[in-house]
Structure 1
């Protein structure tokens, strides 16, 4: 029987690392040190208490929790619109907001509405693997812009101006995964305005907003372009990964196309998750406490990792990742990560997930797990590497 070409999509290797770490943890003898999980960008904290309580109240009231409108509960969309006014000073109408099944559900909706098969969509490398894998599965063509520490692993306006032919689309992420670097507001504004003037559809991944550490301010592409698509999610700052809830801020010309696609592909995001997400947006004190713990873990790692031999780390402006150049230690980061799991009990993700050409000398460490484990990681690595 025929198998569709989309079935040839490359794996998201971090999911294989998760499986290997689970197997390793299950095989540990009683009393052995546990596995430190630094492979996946999943907060170690659960949904904020207010979100869980809102869900309990809704379920206890016997609400049917059926389908919502395809774009989600109007009250949640209004709350998200208020977030843009309060956090960014940007007016976004709730009619332009689509609640989605996580950011992962938002990307195919945006790509299908904005692009056709064969269209070229540019992105920085290293990059979040599903960008390219989803585009490829949909018949579109990822175009990689190799970036490094000199550009802070972000695309530049000069790179875009040199592209010939120009792509139909551009994906930017600030803070980005895996490097955690950000575009300054002026840089994002320049890129957004260039895209609009050049007929290039900008997709701005802003799912790590709220988790920033340096001096670079958060800004949204919605402030600079009427044609940009913004993707966000409750998975990261709001610690609601498994609830599968995210959103899009859409330009006017894509509102109805995305709505029709959402009606057919997903019907709606889970009703109960929408109720919880709306409540989560008012749980600032608890969420900021989570963020403070991530900041302490980040500081401990940035101090301890160089002593363990990890001396080249990307500027970690935001998100909760450290992108480490380990070329002085290995030219096979996949094997290096496997040995790290076996001998140091630390799960990390090979850079090959994020950069197929240069990733063999990089790995990504996530520090959103338990704070005490993040503090322990450098000592384990130093012992393994004989430092």
Structure 2
């Protein structure tokens, strides 16, 4: 007898995780790997944060917390918005989540019904559309390019043939790194409110910009759902800790969903989050390193023949056009890993069509790693350029 496998589980893979697995296999076999595939900062929590956390957990049983998270953490996040965005947020509207990934699941379940149409930029973070598909929603892929700095705009929404129930925006964005200017973001917030579109604002790369700071929708209106995380700026990927800022009408639905799906976020991680928020200055040195790494790529890759990039305003990614070398970024990245030991991510993870000619470089590792990658990649790319696209 063949037993049923649910359709909702038949979603595409998150390709970067497959690249990460292939890179780990190569390392296990004793070969060198330079990791430019995953958006995982190479630094962890600063020593001062870890020392204070060690003292604190001696006095805590680390049992279940309430589903929406520790009051101390919710209040600390509200203070964070006052200090960084000059925005007053009621801690009661903040829900602590098991990473931003759980935050997206909770937000989508609370805000959308099966069959709802939710717009998102393409190229964009693949888990948005895959989670929506698994939940029975319809992802509406909105192609964006350099004319809108790879971001949706009100004018882009006006050109859609059918209305949306929701819209996801990310600023800074993954994979492009682009930031939505404050006036354009306010226009999107206003338009979504007027049209009954639930706006989901992914702000997990806030704090990581190389020009003007990214502005939160928190200070613009109450109706957007804000998703944020301790993974990126606070370098806490493995701690699985994120948060939502919710409209008042979604707080209780998210709480009930969280009670049943996750019980509560990890208590240890929540304590670490409280301490990390009190030591924000300790993380600023990482932004300076990312800026150096970004400059190494922007200076080094054109010399190797890669000259077209999305504007890397923030986050720690460089999205690069390799269309003159390949029309199959999946195979291209596999060959880069196998022949140079450099792990990068195929654009097909972020864009089902044009992504075949794009790749993403993550530059949140060490400066030595990024510089060595450019040194290794340059002769390899020059060899591909001279031999043409045959076999790629």
The Cα of 1:386 is off from its aligned counterpart by 3.0
Distance in 2 between residues matched to 1:150 and 1:337, nearest whole Å? 27
The Cα of 1:166 is off from its aligned counterpart by 1.0
- Equivalent residue of 2:45, what SS? coil
Alignment correspondent of 2:41: 43
Report if aligned partners of 1:103, 1:246 keep a CA contact under 8 Å in 2: yes
Report if aligned partners of 2:34, 2:343 keep a CA contact under 8 Å in 1: yes
Alignment correspondent of 1:314: 310
Alignment correspondent of 2:82: 85
Alignment correspondent of 1:374: 370
Distance in 2 between residues matched to 1:299 and 1:352, nearest whole Å? 25
Distance in 1 between residues matched to 2:382 and 2:119, nearest whole Å? 42
Q: What is the TM-score of this pair, normalised by structure 2?
A: 0.95
- Equivalent residue of 1:207, what SS? coil
Q: Mark the runs of 5 or more structure 1 residues left unpaired by the alignment.
A: none
Alignment correspondent of 1:131: 128
The Cα of 1:35 is off from its aligned counterpart by 1.1
Residues 24-44 of structure 1, C-alpha deviation per residue, up to 9 Å, x if partnerless? 122236xxxx21100000000
Out of 78, 101, 111, the residue aligned to residue 104 of structure 1 is: 101
- Equivalent residue of 2:141, what SS? strand
- Equivalent residue of 1:43, what SS? coil
Report if aligned partners of 2:205, 2:315 keep a CA contact under 8 Å in 1: yes
> What's the RMSD between the two structures over aligned residues?
1.1
- Equivalent residue of 2:127, what SS? helix
Q: Does 1:265 align with 2:261?
A: yes
Out of 20, 23, 27, the residue aligned to residue 25 of structure 1 is: 27
Out of 274, 278, 287, the residue aligned to residue 274 of structure 2 is: 278
Residues 280-317 of structure 1, C-alpha deviation per residue, up to 9 Å, x if partnerless? 01222320011111111111111111111111111100
The Cα of 1:135 is off from its aligned counterpart by 0.3
Distance in 1 between residues matched to 2:63 and 2:244, nearest whole Å? 22
The Cα of 1:54 is off from its aligned counterpart by 3.0
The Cα of 1:217 is off from its aligned counterpart by 3.2
Report if aligned partners of 1:331, 1:361 keep a CA contact under 8 Å in 2: yes
Distance in 1 between residues matched to 2:358 and 2:382, nearest whole Å? 20
Residues 9-51 of structure 1, C-alpha deviation per residue, up to 9 Å, x if partnerless? 110000100011111122236xxxx211000000000123233
Distance in 2 between residues matched to 1:237 and 1:257, nearest whole Å? 28
Report if aligned partners of 1:184, 1:217 keep a CA contact under 8 Å in 2: no
Alignment correspondent of 2:175: 178
Distance in 2 between residues matched to 1:127 and 1:148, nearest whole Å? 11
Alignment correspondent of 2:294: 298
Distance in 1 between residues matched to 2:324 and 2:373, nearest whole Å? 20
Out of 343, 347, 355, the residue aligned to residue 339 of structure 2 is: 343
Report if aligned partners of 1:180, 1:321 keep a CA contact under 8 Å in 2: yes
Give the ranges of 4+ consecutive aligned residues of structure 1 lying more than 4 Å apart after TM superposition: none
Alignment correspondent of 2:53: 55
- Within 5 Å, which residues of 2 pair with 1:75-224? 75-214=72-211, 216-224=212-220
Alignment correspondent of 1:358: 354
Alignment correspondent of 1:9: 11
Distance in 2 between residues matched to 1:65 and 1:217, nearest whole Å? 36
- Number of residue pairs matched? 381
- Equivalent residue of 1:386, what SS? helix
Which one is further off, 276-285 or 134-143? Answer: 276-285
Residues 232-277 of structure 1, C-alpha deviation per residue, up to 9 Å, x if partnerless? 0000000000000000000011011111111111111000100001
Report if aligned partners of 1:301, 1:378 keep a CA contact under 8 Å in 2: yes
